[in-house]
Amino acid sequence: MLTTKIHTDKINVQFKIPIDEVSFLLDTILVTAYSKAPQGSAMYERFKHAGLVMEIDKETHRIVDVEFTFITSLASSYFSKLLVGSNFHDELDEIIERIKKNFIAPSQQSVIVALKNAHQRYCDEIEK
């Protein structure tokens, strides 16, 4: 059971939802993918792999949020700006071009490979 609380100034309600019904309440899906980090990079030294986690709206296919295994918060924030709001189902090529043009880093290709892996996983899931 998942316990959910709703609290406002006038209402304080708590209710339980069976776990198997929770997924029907969510409007988004979480997709993850990985690729090998480039040897010699800080990402490789720390993580060995490049990891990508994306929250995607099920209806519009828009990227709601994204995280990547970057070393700095600035890189994570910038990468998020490049992807959030994009249609992950239909705009993969445009997203990749945006990354190539604006994300100049040793891990660029690892990011693109992880993104392509996530895209394939996402498309396989929604086409079931």
Domain chopping of the chain, boundaries: 27-126
**Three-state SS at 57:** strand
Which CATH architecture best describes the domain 27-126? Answer: Alpha-Beta Complex (3.90)
Cross-sheet strand order for the sheet of 63-68: 28-36, 49-57, 63-68
Express each pLDDT in 22-53 by its tens digit: 555 689 999 999 988 878 887 777 878 888 99
Express each pLDDT in 70-121 by its tens digit: 888 998 999 999 999 999 999 999 999 999 999 998 889 999 999 999 999 9
- What pTM did the predictor assign? 0.76
Residue closest to 78 by CA, chosen among 92, 99, 57, 63 = 99
> What is d(CA 64, CA 54) in angstroms, rounded to the nearest whole number?
8
